[in-house]
Chain A
Amino acid sequence: MALGYAVLLIISVSVLFGLLYWNTAVFVAEQTEETIEVEISGLAEHYQKAGLVGLSEVIQERSRGQRLSLYLLTDPNRRPLAGNLNSWPTASMPGDWIDFEYQRPIGSRIVEHRAHARHFVLPGGYNLLVGYDVQDQVRLERRMRGSMIWIGALALFLGLGGGLLMARHWLRRIDNVNKTAREIMDGDMSRRVELSGSDDELDRLARNLNAMLDRIEALMAGLRQVTDNIAHDLRSPLNRLRSRLEVTMMEDPDKGVYRTALVDTMREADELLKTFNALLLIGEAESGLDWSKLESVDLSTQTNDVAELYEPAAEDAGIKLRAEITPDILVRGNPNLISQAIVNLLDNALKYTPSGERVLISVGIDSAGDAYFEIADSGPGIPESEHENVLNRFVRLEGSRSTVGSGLGLSLVAAVAKLHQARLMLKDNKPGLAVRMSFPRLMSA
């Protein structure tokens, strides 16, 4: 990772600097040629006005002193006539641009300089060379090349170093995630991955991990709640059962007494099993949240079947059970659990509705577009102020249950609602109670 980062940095620095170098060199070279062109047009003017002699004089004039412009006028045999160059520097054709080295006196020393020049031929075969000392340009280019090596080295160093630092930074953050994972595996479920606050990919990963951990923790808490409840709901009746057996054995051996005790014990065991099964089912609904395993369920048919199952029992109890069911309403769910929730609610409603009253079971679509089933009785109802409490008791699997029936039954309803992402609502039926479960509606495919 550090190496990759360094290579990338070096490549970008090289490209940047290469462009800069090339542009500068081209610009300076163009400037030089422009200067030479200006000189040439000046000299051409003199030649036209004053001929070869005039031109020669001007050249002699301009050649004095330390100017950077270079001139050489020769006869057709390239013997120098005027100018500040001693001899024709290199073979060339008329019109050529040429580059050459020449000896330039600087103070008392003679130094070799580079020059750029153009070759002209005048009428009569006279040759004219007009040029410019480009030693400064050469030096600039040389310096730029030198800098480039240094900058390259620096980029390599910074790239590697910076890359290493950055890699260490990321590795530290990943290690932070690992550390949290280890702590969680060691049993501290409350640990969460720290966020850096930068909202980058790693932060988002950490946030998702944390959300997942929250979910797992909630499921574990739910499971613990279920086991606690199982312990509570089973311990007391088991204790009762054991005490009965113990006390029976203390008494005088008598076949009749033994038989009664056994019958009672068996009945108690049956109740225990019922409780146990109910708790397991609640546990399944509470923690077995496998949304993908849920199927399309016809809520209308399910509800209708339950109503039909209970209709004779209701009639026997003197209660009028009426069903108002909108057909073909589909929800996503587990048909067995949904049926059981409806059964439990209906069971409860029939239990609390006095003879001669009515119970209405309905299925429909509410104003929000959700599918619902509702069971409304005209029994004693529950005061509005208590609705919240009752719902909480539904949800929290309140431990204080004296009879197996209602408490567990309603807890199961709450668990089923939770599993189906359904809302459970209590309403005053004036008189009586209406319990409604609304599901996200599933449009038929």
Chain B
Amino acid sequence: MTATWQKCIRLKEPLLTKPFYVFAGLAAVALLLGLFRELTGLGYVTGLNDGYSWGLFKNWNVTALTALGSGGYAVAVMAWIFNERKFHPILRTAVLTSLLGYGTGMLALGVDVGRPWNFIHMNNPRNWNPHSVLLEVAVCMTAYALLALDMENMPPFLERIYRGSDPQKSARALKFFNFMQKTFPFGIALAFVLPSMHQSSLGSLMYLAGNRVNTLWQTPRLPLLYLLMAYILGFACVLLVLLLSSYAWDLGRDSVILGKLASVMSWMTLVWLAIQFIDLGYRGVVGQLLIFNRYSVCFLTETILLLIPAIALRSASVRATAGSLFRMTFLLTLGGLLYRFTPTTIAFNPLGDYRYFPSVAEILMSIGFTSIAVVIFLFAVKKFAILPASAGKIAAEAAMPPFDTL
């Protein structure tokens, strides 16, 4: 069913459903295992070793999934900088997925680092190593998640207080919101600069590893490729979340918004693939693609997973049908995530005889951290006005108007 999304609504649905319990259970398992890890050591719960010292937590939950969590960044750039006003109704969904992506990524990071108590020394910039790319990633990600993303996610929360029964609280929420509005341009600008910096730096991170990363992936263009992939996956994540939500809660589908998202995403993917292959040619390593060892097979898999959906999504009819749009975006997401995951694991070659495969506990924790994001998402869309809806659905809500400036 097509619709024209205009504003955000709060879903009037029961919170404690079966999926909620399943994801909450997975989240609880992860938190318990995380506690066990903090009391024992990384070696007892993970498959990490001295050769592959970064595994699922850093490479999947942080490097790959924060790219997926770049929806708030990518959609906001479209809505604000390129002034595509039609994207405003989906901004709240986008920035929420970002907050959850980054939040759970940082949780995984907290479990992964061996000596977390020393984070306290990061408060003193005199301890910083200005040359460290990792420092830049850590500081930028924290600032983005704690300042910019929190600010962007504030309006639905204030709106809820404003709509509450207590007139005093309501007035205070309005006052705070009016104050915040004055700082929004500065906050949103921060939400553009910080992700540009740390998403590209995630690529530089692997550049330091030199020839330990297979030559198909290792290139001075890693920062550019990583940054563009964050945009692509950000769009993909928002698309998938909106498609699933509209299916689950009957929100209708705004084919103009979804189509435009998919169109921009597929163009960017094609540009991304072009840059990658020009770079391969420039470095003279295209021949390595035809060796068909595990590296070339993995690289070709990534390429195919990105190329097929990118071409298919150029067709307006593919973009217009919910089923094909979902399937193609899903394939593209798999390809993009694989690319983000590969350089530090599959394409990583430490000297010596090391093998890494995540342990069961590690996999459970990784899934569990993502489940925390799902649980909070389910909670948020049923308590706050997050998801977009058509005029008809909004009229049916018949409540006070939301703080619709964001």
Chain B associates with chain A: no
